[in-house]
Amino acid sequence: MSYPINRRRFLVTTAAAGTAAATVQLTPGRAAAQDGELPDFASFKTPDDVMVWTGNTIETERGAQGGSITGLSSLFVRNNLPAPPQSITDDPDGWVIEIDGVANPGSMTLGDIKRLGVITVSSVLQCSGNGRAFFGHETSGTQWSVGAAGNVVWTGVPLNAVIAAMGGPADGANFITGTGGEEIPAGLDPNTIMVERSIPIGALDQAMIAFEVNGEPLPVAHGGPARMVTPGYFGVNNVKYVKKVALTAEESQAKIQQSGYRVREVGAGGAPDQPSMYEMVVKSWITTPLVDVQSGKILIEGVAMGGVSTVTGVEVSTDGGATWQAADFTGPDTGPFSWRPFALMADMPAGQYELASRATNEAGDTQPEDFPPNHRGYGHNGWRDHAVLVTVV
């Protein structure tokens, strides 16, 4: 989204967690990408709309978010391993995916899979660590604020159709396990670095083998030629370059599953008995204004998602949560996994304002004011830390 305040650097003020409002830079030390800074596999991103943290982690500028759909030119990128070469997308229909844990295990090409029936689903893609920058404790990992999220339209084949084509599930299947196609350097134990994620088998209701995003063939930066996408599930579960999908009795033995992406107390190590980052939750944030504005009628805009239940409403506060007004959705309802842009026109004389938003979904969940700390800084959806301080002059 290109909004008035977009496409240039800005310093923004935000309310700090659980304390009096403090002026901080939203993404400390980072600003819009510099010329030539984008890695090759993400060279199609618009530099002014993204911040490049590393060659594998690119965040969308908060001011470049805001519409119903996030263009690929601003969509965030998060790879756990270096991406495969561009040539991996040269022949999408020839890409082979091994299917296991079914009555008749075997391999199918993406071309074969497409013949099973194509669906389109709109959904939020969000990194587990989105909002990590807002936690009060020190966290390792990319200090995402709100920009490790986007709303996109996936086109692909229901995993259920693939499973059915292979004779149906084998007995005892509890998980869907997807394996990424990244090259594992020789001599390393694959389990230490491979991208292999297991999600509960109930997710078969929405899991798909996606081959397009926003109507475009999946680029390598977003997992092309084929990605296992489960709408409603955090990013890490949407395995890029998927080369194997198995219905399994147990979770993957990979570190990324066993100890990674586990929610635990600050200071604790990751372990399989802790909750894994599976389903997303209700969340919203304001995308404009982010900088000082002229007094008068001011349009406050943002995005709101329901997680795995349709977002039904969003309230906006201009006084740090003392009072709330219902905002209007400004884009269509595209299902439970999708976000919707919202807007509220507010009369704002000169002064300081703490702008906050609070979404509710069909299941009745509402964003909490505060979100408790966890070791790795996952899943923050507290509305206060997502608020922005704006001076109206």
Among 112-120, 131-139, 191-199, 350-358, which window interacts with its own copies (CB under 8 A)? Answer: 112-120
Beta bridge partners of 343: 301, 328
Q: Which of 12, 26, 50, 72 binds its own copies (CB under 8 A)?
A: 72
**Binding status of residue 114 toward its own copies by CB under 8 A:** yes
**Binding status of residue 118 toward its own copies by CB under 8 A:** yes
Residue 111 or 141 having the CB closest to its own copies = 111
Pairwise CA distance, residues 389 & 321, whole Å: 12
**Binding status of residue 153 toward its own copies by CB under 8 A:** yes
Residue 45 or 244 having the CB closest to its own copies = 45
Residue 180 or 219 having the CB closest to its own copies = 219
Pairwise CA distance, residues 129 & 138, whole Å: 13
Q: Which of 217, 272, 275, 372 binds its own copies (CB under 8 A)?
A: 217
Contact, 155 vs 304, CB < 8 A? Answer: no
Tokens standing for residue 53: 């943290």
* Closest to 9 in 3D by CA, of 27, 31, 28: 31
Beta bridge partners of 226: none
**Binding status of residue 238 toward its own copies by CB under 8 A:** no
Interaction pattern, residues 336-375, with its own copies; x per rule: CB under 8 A: -----x-x-x------------------------------
**Binding status of residue 94 toward its own copies by CB under 8 A:** no
Among 50-58, 67-75, 251-259, 369-377, which window interacts with its own copies (CB under 8 A)? Answer: 67-75
Q: Which residues of 78-89 are buried (b: 16+ CB within 10 A; e: fewer)?
A: bbbbebbeeebb
Q: Which of 59, 301, 315, 365 binds its own copies (CB under 8 A)?
A: 301
Residue 156 is which amino acid?
G
Pairwise CA distance, residues 303 & 68, whole Å: 8
Pairwise CA distance, residues 362 & 365, whole Å: 7
Count how many Cα atoms sit within 13 Å of the Cα of residue 210 in the half-sphere of its side chain.
Answer: 31
**Binding status of residue 164 toward its own copies by CB under 8 A:** no
Residue 301 or 365 having the CB closest to its own copies = 301
* Closest to 354 in 3D by CA, of 23, 17, 26, 21: 21
**Binding status of residue 47 toward its own copies by CB under 8 A:** no
DSSP 8-class letter at 205: G
Interface residues toward its own copies, by CB under 8 A? 1-4, 7, 46, 66-74, 92-93, 111, 114-122, 153, 155, 211-212, 214-217, 299, 301, 330-332, 334-335, 341, 343, 345
